[in-house]
Amino acid sequence: MTRYDLSPLFRSTVGFDRLARLLDQMPDPGESMSTYPPYDIETLEEDHYRITMAVAGFTLDMLNIELHENMLTVTGTVPKPKETRQFLHHGIGNRNFERKFQLDDYVHVKGAHLKDGLLVIDLVREIPEEMRPRTIEINPGEPQKLLSKAKKMIEGSKSKAA
């Protein structure tokens, strides 16, 4: 897939650098997508989610979970074996991995647990109160004169500064 240079678009915009990073982090469909380790993403409640990864053979000290700028990265590192082994069949996928999940704004990691070869990561979306929809009360009668109040506030702030 061809990558496009979007830098000319960002010369006249402010605050859209996160959009540029998101576009850069998109996987290239031409590259082979790793399916190891397998995972599930489920919705538990309206704003609660869970990622479950099958990490059989990994211990707590082999796994690392990191959250940076809405990118959740789970890595597994297998130490080098101390002895060489000869396999007749080697079917257990005991190899290093890195799995990335792009999280939406206001989604936070609530906790992580490892049990029976399953790594469970609980997520919750916590939208700040000022970002939630709200109902505006409609008052009967004439509108208030907001301009005069604003003018008084400005004049009052000048006298305090002097």
What's the CA gap between 98 and 71, in Å, rounded? 12
What's the CA gap between 112 and 131, in Å, rounded? 27
What CATH architecture is 35-81+90-133?
Sandwich (2.60)
123 near 108, Cβ under 8 Å?
Answer: yes
Distances, alpha carbon 143 to alpha carbons 75, 147, 149, in Å: 59, 11, 13
Sign of CA dihedral 5, 8, 11, 15: negative
What's the CA gap between 135 and 74, in Å, rounded? 40
Distances, alpha carbon 71 to alpha carbons 76, 99, 105, 142, in Å: 16, 10, 10, 50
Average pLDDT over residues 115-142: 88
Q: Is the pLDDT of residue 116 over 90?
A: yes
Q: What is the pLDDT of residue 9?
A: 60
Question: What element of type H or E holds 71?
Answer: strand 71-76
What's the CA gap between 33 and 100, in Å, rounded? 12
**Tens-digit pLDDT profile for residues 8-35:** 665 555 555 555 666 666 666 555 567 8
Q: What is the pTM of this model?
A: 0.64
**Tens-digit pLDDT profile for residues 72-98:** 999 999 988 888 888 899 887 778 999
